[in-house]
């Protein structure tokens, strides 16, 4: 058998083994944990496989004989939480997938920086976040009403969504505790927000999304929000200096005469 044929057979064998391993892992864990496995990758540590399912990272061996639930991998040299870093990458949502017309839009200053939040009007941490966001300048904020804390949350969300000035009504309630008056209107947007959240494992509020798709679960202080917004803001290119039109200098008769000397 030629060397090329040997290489080809080895490649096919490895490919089939990798496929078999992934299928075994997927079938075993979905049956055992009643979850939907979204992605499987080699964890690059300890010969484990990283499994992303229902918004969580699990670790297992190639045959799914051993399972690590709730564990985090820490790099002792860099002190980085490798699990958290990977979870941030895997749970990111392209900003373009957010249905912005279903959100309450607020523009601060030039509005160049962007973020979106999923919030329940009865969420205590969301109220703290609303206060922090008052200090965020030059940003466009999209608040997706995400009533998941009970029937009262849905009614308040309806009243806020149906208000004439949604942004003002939202801030009055979240910051000052002014109850939004009862209103009726089409609230299909709230249903769509909840369906989107369920599909994308938004299990708590507040959940914040930045322009890159980066997801942060929980409240963030103003300085951290601004820091992340600045990191993700597109670098502004310096405007080129205006080019002045340079006209040929006119040589006066006297100057011509001197040049001829």
53-85 pLDDT, tens digit per residue, is 888 899 998 888 888 888 888 988 898 898 888
For residue 53, give the DSSP letter: E
Report field, pTM of the whole predicted structure over 0.85: no
Question: Based on the domain organization, do 78 and 104 belong to the same domain?
Answer: no
Rounded distance, CA 73 to CA 60, Å?
13
- Over 90: is that where the pLDDT of 168 sits? yes
Specify if 62 maps to a domain.
yes
Pairing of strands 139-145, 113-119: parallel
Average pLDDT, the chain: 83
Minimum mean pLDDT range among 24-38, 109-123, 213-227: 24-38
> What are the CA-CA distances from residue 166 to residues 13, 119, 163 (Å)?
60, 14, 5
Give the residue, 20 or 90, on which the prediction is more confident: 90
Residue 177 lies in a domain: yes
From the list 207, 212, 208, the residue with the least C-alpha distance to 231 is 212
Tokens of 230: 């600045």
Residues 77, 107, single domain; the answer is no
Note down the domain range covering 203.
Answer: 95-232
Reference 220, options 133, 95, 120; nearest CA is 133
- The answer to whether residues 115 and 217 belong to one domain is yes
On the 0-12 / 13-18 / 19+ scale of CB atoms within 10 A, 120 is buried
Q: What are phi and psi of 166, to 5 degrees?
A: -65, -45
Higher per-residue confidence, 55 vs 140? 140
| Domain assignment of residue 255, yes or no | no
Domain final position from 66, 90, 114: 90
**In CATH, what number is assigned to the domain containing residue 107?**
3.40.30.10
Q: Check residue 180 and give its pLDDT.
A: 96
What CATH number has the domain bearing residue 36? 3.10.450.70
Average pLDDT over residues 45-50: 84
CB 152 within 8 A of CB 158: no
Does residue 216 share a domain with residue 111? yes
pLDDT category of residue 234 using cuts at 50, 70 and 90: low
Phi-psi region of 219 (alpha: psi -120 to 50; beta: other; left: phi over 0): beta
Sheet strands (E) in the chain: 37-42, 49-53, 56-60, 67-68, 74-75, 80-81, 104-108, 113-119, 139-145, 207-210, 215-217
Statement to judge: residues 152 and 216 lie in one domain:
yes
Q: Are residues 13 and 65 in the same domain?
A: yes
Structure tokens given for 30: 């979905």
Q: What angle do CA 50, 55, 58 make, to 5 degrees?
A: 30
140 plus 103 within the same structural domain: yes
Q: Looking at the structure, tell me whether residues 129 and 211 fall in a common domain.
A: yes
Instruction: Count up the domains in the chain and report the number.
Output: 2
- Across 38-64, average pLDDT: 85
Q: Which helix (H) or strand (E) holds 254?
A: helix 253-259
Last residue of a domain, one of 67, 90, 113: 90
What's the whole-number mean pLDDT along residues 233-237? 53
Do 116 and 225 sit in the same domain of this protein? yes
> Would 213 be classed as within a structural domain?
yes
204 plus 106 within the same structural domain: yes
């Amino acid at each position: 058998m030629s060397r090329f044929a040997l290489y080809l057979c080895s490649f096919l064998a490895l490919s089939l083994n990798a496929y078999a391993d992934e299928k075994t892992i997927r079938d075993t864990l979905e049956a055992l944990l009643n979850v939907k496995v979204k992605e499987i990758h080699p964890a690059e540590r300890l010969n484990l496989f990283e499994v992303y399912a229902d918004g969580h990272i699990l670790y297992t061996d190639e045959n799914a004989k051993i399972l690590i639930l709730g564990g985090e991998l820490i790099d002792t040299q860099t002190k980085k939480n490798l699990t958290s870093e990977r979870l941030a990458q895997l749970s990111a949502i392209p900003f373009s997938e957010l249905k912005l017309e279903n959100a309450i839009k607020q523009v601060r200053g030039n509005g160049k920086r962007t973020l979106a939040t999923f919030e329940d009007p009865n969420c205590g941490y969301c109220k703290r976040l609303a206060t922090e966001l008052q200090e965020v300048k030059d940003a466009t904020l999209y608040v997706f009403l995400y009533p998941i804390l009970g029937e009262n949350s849905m009614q308040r969300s309806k009243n806020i969504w149906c208000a004439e000035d949604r942004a003002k009504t939202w801030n009055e309630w979240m910051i000052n505790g002014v109850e939004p008056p009862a209103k009726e209107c089409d609230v299909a947007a709230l249903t769509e927000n909840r369906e989107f959240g369920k599909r994308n494992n938004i299990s708590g509020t507040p959940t914040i999304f930045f322009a890159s798709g980066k997801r942060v679960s929980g409240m963030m202080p103003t300085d951290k929000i601004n820091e992340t917004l600045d990191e993700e803001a597109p670098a502004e290119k310096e405007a080129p200096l205006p080019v002045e039109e340079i006209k040929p200098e006119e040589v006066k008769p006297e100057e011509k005469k001197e040049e001829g000397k």
